[in-house]
Amino acid sequence: MILEVDRVTKRFTRRGKTDKVANDNLSFAIEEGEIFGLLGQNGAGKTTLVNQILGLLTPDDGDIRLLGKSVIQSPSLARSICSVQPQSQVSLGLLTPKQAVTLMGKMRAGKQFDPKRVDMLFEALNMEEWANIEGEKLSGGARRLTTFCMAVIVPGKLVILDEPTNDVDPVRRRYLWQVIRELTNDGTSVILVTHNVVEAEKAVDRVAILHEGKLITQGTPSEVKSSVHNQMRMEVNLLKEFDEMEMPKWMLSSHRQGSRLLFAIDQSKVSSTIDWVRGQVEKGFVMDYTLSPSTIEDVYIELTSGKEAMQ
Amino acid sequence: MNTLLSHYKYVFQLQLLRNGGFLVFMALIQILIAIGIVIGLTYLIPDPDSSSILYLATGAPTLILIFTGLVILPQQIGTAKADRYLEYMKTWPINRSVILGADTTLWLIITIPGIVVSSIVAHFMFHPGYDVSWTVVPALLMIALTSIGVGYGFSYLLSPIASLAISQVTVFGALMFSPVNFPMERLPEWLQLLHEVLPIHSMAEIMRASLAASTFTANIGNYINLGIWCILGFGGAMYILNKR
């Protein structure tokens, strides 16, 4: 077992009063070589949890063990076991990606550091063209990839990636997932923190969904999806106000973000739903629509906000 | 010990390359400020006697060290806090005193050109009567470390806005209301009392005693004062860095 999070609670207090319970009695474990997706909306408590794993924050209750040792008792141990890509952009100043990644590698591996690995990583991510350009002249995506490389150049036993694909173009995102997968071949475990559920579904071995400080579900992607097993999802882009539209009675759960409406239906209702949505297109309510098998995003929406929206 | 040294080397390289442009720029600014203090203040005092000139010429290096540690450094820390670089450094697999040590070395290095150049210029323009003692090296180190340590202490401890306010007051206070460029006796009594506690007066005394050893002496109290401030500053910074 690489990581065990055992009934961890973290509260933030302001002027003596509990302001927010950022992590509420969380428990989960990560095995060697596993990619673990930690999903949740902004403010769900993901980064707070990561900071506790790294020993930067102390839990109010519970314990966190890395390779069997308590992080609370030896916080500096956590930093040698884990390597991190932070969520925020790291300002590199005049450092070039090559310098930054090489120095980080030397810091972690000392004399055993193999400089060839820098070139291999840059090649795998197709970023050789940026290798020797000063950081402040690089685009956000190139800088994000540089901090990714800084985290994985000499990976610890546990690599924590906080929104690694932000700002990165679609082609290089694929390369990035490839590199992450290769890391686990050597037994390195990965925590992938993200709110990009669709992308994470394809990449992770196991997933946990964090909502308002609580873990609302965890398991393999197919286990998590079992609650929506026989369902289809309809995604609709609205042209007019939601309230004026008559919704299908067989809708199972729904969620709306701006002009984007998502709802779940049973597989037997596919043709009636298509009839319904065509009608809405003719009436000018709907711009376009997509019907697809349910994803983790639907579970996520159902578990977090879907229920209120439906009833 | 070996890992500590190699970590120090890599963090130093990382910080030097990252901030290279800024550091060169600051070193140049320091030279201008130091020369400016020596020459500029002679405009303020129309016919300075040799004692006033010596005060100015031995005060300029102290002011450079104060500006670096208590003004430029806190601003830099404020930026590092705002863009979360400080938080990122805290995740590195190294002892945090290494970060403090590597950065302190960089700050020390950028003060040297200003101090050397301004002293040479002052010497040839005004012949202020320097009498440099061997103690100049430890004195410079001690003053610089105190200034840098105190700068780290308050800029880690306080919010960026609060530490910006302190550094603005420090610029003005050190230049106009501190016994660096003139003798302590000219200040009102309450300011004299304040300066017995603050480190600025002790810095100036120790600097003068090593740059013009035949004219000025520093007492043991000055050294103790600096020692306490230095420990408080770095101690506070280490406390904040390791706080969870």
Q: Which residue of A has its CA nearest to B242?
A: A56
Q: Give residue B37's pLDDT.
A: 81
E strand intervals along A2-43: 3-14, 17-30, 35-39
Distance of residue B149 Cα from the nearest chain A Cα, in angstroms: 23
Q: Give residue A311's pLDDT.
A: 31
Instruction: Classify residue B10: in a domain, yes or no.
Output: no
Mean pLDDT score of chain B:
89
What is the sign of the dihedral through the CA atoms of A278, A279, A282 and A284?
Answer: negative
CB pairs under 8 A between A and B: 70
Q: Which residue of A has its CA nearest to B20?
A: A94
Contact B93 A83 (CB under 8 A): yes
**pLDDT tens for residues B78-112?**
888 888 898 899 999 999 899 999 999 999 999 99
Contact A58 B85 (CB under 8 A): no
Distance of residue B237 Cα from the nearest chain A Cα, in angstroms: 16
Percent of chain B past pLDDT 90, that is, above it, reads 50
- Count other Cβ atoms within 10 Å, centred on residue B243: 10
| Bridge partners of residue A191, in order along the sequence | A36, A160
Distance from chain centroid for Cα A301: 15
| Bridge partners of residue A190, in order along the sequence | A35, A159
**pLDDT tens for residues B207-228?**
999 998 888 888 899 999 999 9
- Count other Cβ atoms within 10 Å, centred on residue A6: 16
Contact B10 A103 (CB under 8 A): yes
> Which H or E element spans position A296?
helix A296-301
Chain B residues 2-41 with CB within 8 Å of chain A:
3, 6-7, 10-11, 13-14, 17-22
Can you give the residue range of the structural domain that contains B113?
18-242
- Count other Cβ atoms within 10 Å, centred on residue B185: 7
Block means of pLDDT (10 residues each) for chain A, length 311 residues? 94 80 93 93 88 92 94 88 92 94 94 93 96 94 95 94 91 93 92 85 89 90 79 86 79 81 87 90 89 82 57 31
Instruction: Classify residue B237: in a domain, yes or no.
Output: yes
Instruction: Classify residue B11: in a domain, yes or no.
Output: no
What is the sign of the dihedral through the CA atoms of A166, A168, A169 and A172?
Answer: negative
**pLDDT tens for residues B147-202?**
999 999 989 888 888 989 999 998 888 888 889 888 888 999 999 999 999 999 99
Cα B130 to Cα A189: distance, rounded to the nearest angstrom: 64
Q: Which two tokens stand for residue A34?
A: 């596993």
Please tell me whether residue A256 adopts helix, strand or coil conformation.
strand
Distance of residue B107 Cα from the nearest chain A Cα, in angstroms: 17
What is the sign of the dihedral through the CA atoms of A263, A266, A272 and A278?
Answer: positive
Q: Give residue B13's pLDDT.
A: 95
Q: Which two tokens stand for residue A264?
A: 């779940």
What b/e sequence results for B199-232 when a residue is b if at least 16 CB atoms lie within 10 Å of its CB, and e otherwise?
Answer: bbbbbbbbbbbbbbbebbebeeebbebbeebbeb
A106 in contact with B, Cβ within 8 Å:
yes
- The number of distinct structural domains making up chain B is 1
Cα A13 to Cα A38: distance, rounded to the nearest angstrom: 25
Q: Are A97 and A135 in contact (CB under 8 A)?
A: yes
Cα A294 to Cα A227: distance, rounded to the nearest angstrom: 10
State the complex-level ipTM: 0.85
Amino acid identity of residue B101, one-letter, is: G
Cα B70 to Cα B56: distance, rounded to the nearest angstrom: 20
A91 in contact with B, Cβ within 8 Å:
yes
Contact A95 B6 (CB under 8 A): no
Instruction: Classify residue B164: in a domain, yes or no.
Output: yes
Domains of chain A with CATH codes: 3-219 (3.40.50.300), 228-310 (3.30.70.250)
A58 in contact with B, Cβ within 8 Å:
yes
Instruction: Classify residue B231: in a domain, yes or no.
Output: yes
Please tell me whether residue A290 adopts helix, strand or coil conformation.
strand
Confidence label for B34 from pLDDT (cuts 50, 70 and 90): confident
Q: Give residue B1's pLDDT.
A: 67
* Predicted TM-score (pTM) of this structure: 0.85
Instruction: Classify residue B3: in a domain, yes or no.
Output: no
In sequence order, the 6+-apart residues with CB closer than 8 A to the CB of B155 are B73, B74, B77, B78, B163
Q: Give residue A67's pLDDT.
A: 94
**Average pLDDT of the segment spanning B28-32:** 90
Cα A241 to Cα A304: distance, rounded to the nearest angstrom: 23
